[in-house]
Structure formats: C-alpha cells, structure tokens
A and B are shown apart, each in its own frame.
Chain A
Amino acid sequence: MAFLDIQHLEKSFGAMHVVKDFNLGVEKGEFVSFLGPSGCGKTTVLRMVAGFETPTSGAIRIDGQDMTCLPANRRNIGMVFQAYALFPNLTVEENIGFGLKVAGEGKVAIRSRVGEMLELIGLRQLGSRYPFQLSGGQQQRVALARALAPRPQVLLLDEPLSALDAKIRISLREEIRRIQRDLGITTIFVTHDQEEALSMSDRVVVMHQGIADQVATPFEIYNRPTTRFVAQFVGTLNLLEANVVDAAAGKVLLGEVPVSLNRPLPGRTGERISLAARPEIVTLGRSDGDHVVLAGRIADVHFLGSVIRIRVAVEGGHLSLDTFNQPDRPPPSLGTPVEVSVSHRDLLVLAA
C-alpha cells in the first residue's frame, strides 16, 4: 500500500457530484501534482486529505492509518494556501513556531527549529518582521516554513504560486522543489498551470470533472495521453480528422491522402478518428521514410525567441509546428507554399 492512499473517494455538495471515484497512491517522498481546469475538484480532493471536508464516501490512509474521519488538527498534515494565510498578529518567527508551540515543544527546541526553517527559506534576517512587511514571495516562503516546521507527514499546497508574478513564480517553484527533495517530504501540489505541473512533479494527476483522467509521469502525460481531454488540455495539439480505411492494418484516409500508421486502431472501418500531433514533431519540408507528408501554405509566423512557431494551412485545417531559431535562416514569409512531415510513429490516435 502506498504511503498516502486514497481509495474510491467521492464528494457531493448537495446535488452536485464534485469528486467521482478518485483513486491515488502517493509513495513516500513523492511529489505529485493535481492539474486540471477551474472547478474540476482539485481543491476539494486536497481539502478532504487535509480534513477540512468530509468525504461522502471512500477512504484516506496515511502510512497505513485511516485518516478519513480524523479532525484536521490531529492529522499532522502541512498546508500552504494560495493567499498565504499567515497570522497577521504574529511575527515571522512566531508564525513558523506556531505549530511547534501547539505541539507543546520547549522554548529552546522551538527557537532552534525556527532558525533552521528560516535558514531553509533564506530569510534569516527577517524573523522579527510582521507578515505585512514582507513581499508576496517572502510571505509564501514563510507559509511554507510554517507548514514544514512541525515535521508533517504530508505537505499539501493549493495553488501556492498563483498570486505571485511570473519571475518569482518560477524561482519559487524551483525552491519549493529543492526543499521538498531535501526533506524528502511526501507532497501534493495543486495547480492549473501545466508548465508548473510538468516541470516540478514526479507524477501528475490530470483531473477533469471530478475524475482523475490519467495519473502518470510528466513525460507519459505529455507524450502518451490516454484520453482526448488529457491530450488537449496538456500542451498544444494539432488535431486532424481522418477516416479509418482498415482498422486492423492501421490504414486511414487523411483528406485524400492515404496514410498507414502500422498499428491497430481503436475505431472500426469507415469511422472517423482524430490524429493528433504535438507542434515539435511536425517538421517543415519533405522527410522520407515513415512520414506523412502534407502540402500547405505558411499562414502565420510567431517568433518566440529560441523557438519559432509556424502555422501552416493544410487541407482541412491548420497545423502548428515548432522549429528552433537559426541565425542564418530567417523564418519563411507568409503565403509561401511548403510541405510538412509528421512521423507515423509519433501521431497520437484519439477516438473522435
């Protein structure tokens, strides 16, 4: 059994069924993200783990111990909130020491642990300030230290970076990950920012309408999405509609172009399916071998710096593709006729 074990978790608010048969095992020391659109139930699952909401049914176990009905203040779970939620009347040191004081630790022990935590978050000199005297990023670091000080079994973070500006968001997410690794603390991180989820996590849970659609490593989630929702929600995706000609042999018709995918397809002969391709697997020009080649015209060029994103109008839609910037090769101008190639192997097949 996993360290944090969530089984058949369900939650309804009145008639609204918000979380449906949610199952997840998080190993000790693992960093798992919940990723999903607004309102899909991420916070609700997290709050049930923390003990702020009672599940309608299902069980939550930590280290083999049933937590489902334990009140929040007896679970030994650290929580970091989007709005920091520091105690305004206490200094940084008192905030960090709060949980230790509640646990009845001695003054000396508290002082040394608080010092340790201040060191960890790099705010040694700010211990005697009040929260309102700190920047947002500093406040959130204090909130993290406060949650970690009593040595919780599990750390929960609910969109801790959404209230911060972009630069701090990136530096703080690296810092959170470093601290999490150093302490080896089991962590669940809620976010609706896919870059955050993919870059930080050991595993990602993509949630959709209260269901965990896919639980896998960021690499798997991005490259081998198992549902249409995951494929479309994570990353940019080119969708091409195709007709199945021979399901067993993997032959489809893409517009007028026959394409052989060399693998069995889910649909039956004559059905429509969607072929999906990430921008980075589409290349400009004709490639030989196992490639689908389509003719089109340059419709749009976005120069993003190291990457250039080009939109090509092809029969039946548009394809976005990414190429790396090369100083000696300026991007093609609009309207230029081009050919684009996609490897058969990398094309994702999604049921229509």
Chain B
Amino acid sequence: MTGKRFWSWLAVAFGGLYFLLPLVGMFDFSMRMQRGAYSFEAYRVVLADPQFQQTFGYSVVLALLTIVLGILIVVPTAYFVRLRFPGLRPVIEFITLLPLVIPPIVIVFGYIRIYNTSSILPLTGSWWGTNILLLFGYVMLSLPYMYRSVDTGLRTIDIASLTEAAQSLGAGWARILTVVILPNVFVSVLSGAFLTFAIVIGEYVFAALLNVDSFGPYMVWMGGNRAYEPSALAVIAFAITWACMGLIQLFTSFSKFSTVRR
C-alpha cells in the first residue's frame, strides 16, 4: 500500500467514525432500558405511547399535504419559468433559496406578527388557521429542495419540443402538465418529496412557536423528561430519514422508462 492510499483510507475511516460512533452509542444506550439485558423495551414504550402515535400521525399527514401543495406550486412554476421566462430563473432560484438563509425562528416570528389575532388575517386565532399557516410555512421550507430537484429533472427533458408536440396534438396546459411533464420529472419530484418528508417530520421551531402538537415538539419534550426513550426516538427518526433517502435511490434506479435518449 502506498503512502497516499494510506492517508486517504485514514481520512475516510476518521470521517466514518465521526458519523458512526455517536449513532452506535445512541443505539447502544437505547437498548439498555432493562437493567442487565439488551432489549427493545424503550422502543416498545415509545411506540405504545398514545402521544407518540398522535403527534407522529399528525406530522405524517402534514408532510403529505406539504408535498402535494409543494408539487402543485413548484412544478408549474419551474416549468413555465424554463419554457417562457428563462431570464427569471436566477431570480426564482434565489427566492427559493431564501428559506436556507433566513433562520426559521425569524420566519415564524414574522408569521406570528403578520397573522396574529389582531391582524387583518388572524390565522393564529383558530385551529384551522394555525394548521394552514404551518402547512404554508412548511411548503416554503421545502422550496429549496423541491424547486432544485424539479428544475434539475426538467433539464433532462426537452420541454419545449415536448410541449409543442403535445400542443400540436391538441393538448391544453392542464393535460401537458399532468400527462407529459409531471410523469417525466416524477423521479425528481419524488426525491424532492422524500426530502420534504424528512424535514417536516422532525421540524421543531415552527411547530413549537405556533403551539402545535407535532412530532418535533414531542421529541423535544421526551428528551427533557425521559432517559432511554429519546435515544430510541432519535434512532427511529434517523431510520425514517434514511428510508426516505433509500427510496429516492430505489425510484431513481428502477423507474420504468429512461428519459435519457440513446
């Protein structure tokens, strides 16, 4: 083995340890709820907790709604920007990146100020209003991931020709978007969707400040009040995120048709 190779291996090993050790430690700790024996007791307790079921279910529904709304907003926008206003692309891209630059706490304070009970649009005053506000907030948080992946997907197909071909065959905008464009960027949309799912499931700041009982605040509350269960929860959360990543890979490699022309 040459010296160069040795050093690269060392770097990789160091990086691996840096990521893996805490995970292994956490997993190990989560298995020690019963004294003197390895067991999944902490997981059983967590999964059986009605509050877990309720907050987790709520977050899953919210994540799915976020994804649907995100697709409805992002796909047509990215499509028309590419097709009709290519000059606007840098502007739109910049706008979609803002949620990564502005801290969530700032955004949510802005929301609370604008939509509080004494404003013109008192969304925070009702259960429905708060949920809608949270949903819109999450759609915005997911924009950087959603827009980028959809835009990348659109780049791999010749949308101008496909659009014109569909138009000459009589199709209108709704059909072009749903039958021609969306299926061809479906894999990209999915990868954006899984990222969105992972983000929404664990989001804390928005939920806590809007006083919504979702999975994020539940995890934090657990962390403050229990010993072994938080580790189990963290492992579960990691597993969900990884499952999402894995699904992205799966869909990418097993899509039925390839958009890559030979």
Contact = CB atoms under 8 A, between A and B. Distances in A.
B170 A76 contact: yes
Interface residues of B, number: 25
Contact of A88 (B169, B170, B259): B259
Contacts of B172: 73
7 contacts: A73-B170, A85-B161, A85-B165, A98-B166, A103-B170, A132-B259, A147-B169
B167 A85 contact: no
B94 interface: no
A52 interface: yes
Contacts, number: 81
How many chain A residues sit at the interface, stated as a range, is 20 to 34
A132 B180 contact: no
A81 B168 CA distance: 11
Contact of A83 (B161, B167, B170, B260): B161
B13 to A, nearest CB: 41
B38 to A, nearest CB: 49
B226 interface: no
Contacts of B186: 89
A52 B261 contact: no
A155 to B, nearest CB: 10
Give 10 nearest A-B pairs by CB, closest first: A99-B169, A85-B161, A79-B168, A89-B183, A85-B165, A102-B170, A72-B167, A130-B257, A73-B167, A88-B259
Interface of A: 50-52, 71-79, 81, 83, 85-89, 98-99, 102-103, 130-132, 143, 146-147, 150
B168 A147 contact: yes
B158 to A, nearest CB: 6
Contacts of B180: 87, 89
A72 B161 contact: no
Contacts of A150: 169-170
B184 to A, nearest CB: 5
B28 interface: no
A132 B170 contact: no
